[in-house]
Amino acid sequence: MQIRSAGSKRSFKSKGMKKVITYGSFDLFHKGHYELLRRAKELGDYLIVGVTTEHFDRMRGKLNLMDPIRVRMDNVWKTGFADEIIVEDHDGQKVEDIQQYGIDVFTLGSDWVGRFDYLKEYCEVVYLPRTAGVSSSALRDEKLKIVRLGIIGTGRIAPRFLKETSYVSGIEVVGAYNPEADSAKAFEDTYQVVTRTDDFEGFLSEVDAVYVASPNETHSEYVRSAIEAGKHVLCEKPMTFTYDEAVELYKLADKRDVVLMEGIRTAYLPGFQQLLSVAKSGVIGEICDIEACFTRIGAPGTREMTDAKYSGAFLEYGSYTMLPIFKLMGKNYKNIEIESVHGKNGIDIFTKVHFRYDNKVATAVAGAGVKSEGQLVISGTEGYILAKSPWWLTKGFDVRFEDPNKVDHYEATFQGEDGLRYEIAEFVRKINGSAGADYKLTAEESIAMADVVEKFMVKRRDLQRRLSCE
């Protein structure tokens, strides 16, 4: 095997030889990696493959890396496509390598379209399309099985989710499902993911797990069908509109021995977990009040601005604001009051939920069409924690005290734009049995949120019935 580290002696370009270079972690080597290398080799005469170090992968936000670098390099070499393997370990190395090795073509998968256009100054840049419908192959070690994932729903969050899976080792999107043909075709054409519009059972038969990102009112039935088919499920919030159905789905998942996880991404962020730990440490004394606010003015015509039956401010953002309250004050509140400001057709554009505990209070605020300061404040007898907007993408927070000159500032790890990769990584760890104790978002907490959602839905339906009678 011809292997060089960065900075090793230059591999001189032979006259008339067309050199190609590609990069990757190649963790849990599978058919998609094999096909990428095969097509990269077809672009020229000599293929150099850069394999990333564990440290560099962590720095660039790649989570759940499982194979050591020697194993990953061996798997690349066994394909027979690589003429030379190098190690990538720092930012800016691609430009260095292209010049050092006399590269004619730089290539990566279509997941990275546009990202490396700046390299066109040095060589040709080619983005190879995904190998639609491929699944993991026997090339990988079976004890570290790749999770074959199917996406249900191809709306606005599905492309973001698909992109973030590329940063999480051990998972591969192999298909999607949407009964709406236009949306399905657009998703397949854009992202080269085989997308079905019928035969849902056939779709389930090809995956190990599903991500449910369909409209809110369809979540619970898709979740139920997937669990009954023995598939692991990650579902966008709200998973259900009732307490009883949430209980039923978690019991069903336990019976079928599959993972069921609600996608409240804040729960899985390292920064949010650190915030909770600091709050529980006693540094601000006894916690007496929590105010959590998430508001957004959505574009006209979007679901949260128009769907008075199954969307609106609270159903879209309320789960985020309930999360720190239930994590720090628990699920057993004594009283709850729900107040909303309504727009057309009875849709809530602003909702406050007041929780009363034994000698404690909390407020969850959600807005869609009404804008407020979206911060999280945790008040205690010795000080308070302030996480500024957008606290639900926790990148840092302050601990403040009576003395205004005393402020402890915390910076938190955060990779990506919207935190989805941490949620995906947790899902993979749970499936593989490596997540440890379930504490980031428990079934009991998810069920407690469903109970509040049910109370909200009852109030909304009462209001809408009154409006229809006027």
* Backbone torsions φ then ψ of 380, nearest 5 degrees: -130, 175
State the DSSP code for 359: T
Please say if the pLDDT value at position 10 is more than 50. Answer: no
The first and second tokens of residue 122, run together, are 């040095």
What's the burial of 185, exposed, middle or buried (CB within 10 Å: 0-12/13-18/19+)?
middle
Average pLDDT, the chain: 90
Quick: pLDDT tens for 160-200.
999 999 889 889 999 999 999 999 999 999 999 999 999 99
| pLDDT one-digit tens code per residue, 86-104 | 999 888 899 989 998 999 9
Q: State the DSSP code for 295.
A: E
Distance, CA of 21 to CA of 103 (rounded, Å): 7
The whole-number average pLDDT for the span 136-161 is 76
Q: Is the pLDDT of residue 71 over 70?
A: yes
Decide if pLDDT at 136 tops 80. Answer: no
Place of tokens 């390292």: 270
Question: Which tokens hold the place of 206?
Answer: 């090809």
Report pLDDT for 132.
Answer: 58
- pLDDT tens sequence across 279-294: 999 999 999 999 999 9
Up-side HSE of residue 23: CA atoms within 13 Å toward CB? 22
Average pLDDT over residues 131-157: 69
Please tell me the distance from the alpha carbon of residue 332 to that of residue 357, in angstroms, as a whole number: 7
Compute the distance between CA of residue 149 and CA of residue 424 in angstroms, rounded to an integer.
11
- Put simply, whether the predicted model's pTM sits higher than 0.75 gets the answer yes
Residues 6+ apart with CB under 8 A from 178: 152, 153, 154, 184, 187, 195, 196, 197, 214
Fold identical between 3-128 and 142-264? yes
Rounded Cα distance between 364 and 318, Å, is 7
Give the fold, CATH level 3, of 270-413.
Answer: Dihydrodipicolinate Reductase; domain 2 (3.30.360)
Q: Which of the four pLDDT bands, split at 50, 70 and 90, describes residue 139?
A: very low
Give the least confident one: 129-138, 242-251, 365-374.
129-138
Q: What is the pLDDT of residue 56?
A: 82
| Spatial separation of the C-alpha atoms in residues 374 and 361, rounded to whole Å | 19
Place of tokens 């601005």: 305
Q: Give every strand in the sheet of 348-357, ordered side by side.
A: 335-342, 348-357, 360-368, 287-296, 376-380, 384-387, 396-400, 407-411
Token pair for residue 163?
Answer: 């992109």
pLDDT at 197: 96
**Coil, helix or strand at residue 219:** helix
Boundaries of every domain in the chain: 3-128, 142-264, 270-413
Q: How confident is residue 276, by pLDDT bands cut at 50, 70 and 90?
A: very high
**Fold of the domain built from segment(s) 3-128:** Rossmann fold (3.40.50)
Q: Are 293 and 316 in contact (CB under 8 A)?
A: no
Q: Could you report the per-residue pLDDT of 99-120, keeping only the tens digit for each?
A: 989 999 999 998 889 989 999 9
The Cα–Cα gap between 108 and 37 comes to 9
C-alpha 262: how far from chain center: 11
3-state secondary structure of 12: coil
Q: Which two tokens stand for residue 147?
A: 């999770």
pLDDT at 170: 87
Distance CA 354, CA 452 (A): 11
Q: Pick 142-264's CATH classification: 3.40.1350.10, 3.40.190.290, 3.90.1150.10, 3.40.50.720.
A: 3.40.50.720
pLDDT value at position 2?
Answer: 64
Instruction: Report the DSSP pairing between strands 19-24 and 105-109.
Output: parallel
Chain centroid, CA 445 distance in Å:
19
